[in-house]
Chain A
Amino acid sequence: GAGVSQSPSNKVTEKGKDVELRCDPISGHTALYWYRQSLGQGLEFLIYFQGNSAPDKSGLPSDRFSAERTGGSVSTLTIQRTQQEDSAVYLCASSLGTGRNQPQHFGDGTRLSIL
């Protein structure tokens, strides 16, 4: 597709369940980013991929959060044993490279609600 695609667009699950969020970046974009947007908060960086490796995982809030990227394309963010404070919009972005002035292109996000 022409833009960054995220699925599902909405996810409601019970506390304690595991969830997987998917991001399909723009074709040819080597860099991929995950952010979290909580109600009333700014966007919070989670993790960055260059190809299939993650040089910066500094934003992952706990060891319940993990992410992987395969084939230099699709990425999956996994949250284990979800808690209510995990409720947020999870946004994925991609960029053509890591040049200092490469703009990031965002998907529409996955709205996660933990009951």
Chain B
Amino acid sequence: KQEVTQIPAALSVPEGENLVLNCSFTDSAIYNLQWFRQDPGKGLTSLLLIQSSQREQTSGRLNASLDKSSGRSTLYIAASQPGDSATYLCAVRPASGTYKYIFGTGTRLKVLA
């Protein structure tokens, strides 16, 4: 059974720091891994989707890497800003014929001004 874990559960950093969020999954048979952002009281906003054949994806200050064989992904945020404060979720789509995503419980990030 696929399980997704995110560490740390919460993180507080001063503005301007570079930071790394971690995601691990137990079954390497996946189609893709997706990173989402969730603001309080809101739904999920897709940040980056990494296909199983890819190693990384970049969008602006965000860079996500995927090491499928070791079951790990990282989300790197450069030069953090207070507006980056949110909960970050990773999710994997198993390569098992299902169309659902399996989510981690998220990392709650606070960037201090």
Contacts and interface: CB of A to CB of B under 8 A. Distances in A.
B46 A48 contact: no
Contacts of B21: none
Given A31-B99, A43-B103, A56-B100, A101 B31 contact: yes
Interface of A: 4, 6, 31, 33, 35, 40-43, 45, 48, 50, 55-56, 59, 91, 93, 98, 100-101, 103-109, 111
A45 B43 contact: no
A108 B41 contact: yes
Instruction: Pick from A55, A101, A105 the residue with the most CB of B within 10 Å.
Output: A101
Nearest to A55: B99
Interface residues of B, number: 26
Given A45-B100, A56-B100, A101 B91 contact: no
State the majority secondary structure of interface residues on B: strand
B68 interface: no
B43 A106 contact: yes
Interface of B: 4, 31-32, 34, 36, 41-46, 49, 51, 89, 91, 93, 95, 98-106
Contact of B105 (A40, A103, A105, A111): A40
A56 B105 contact: no
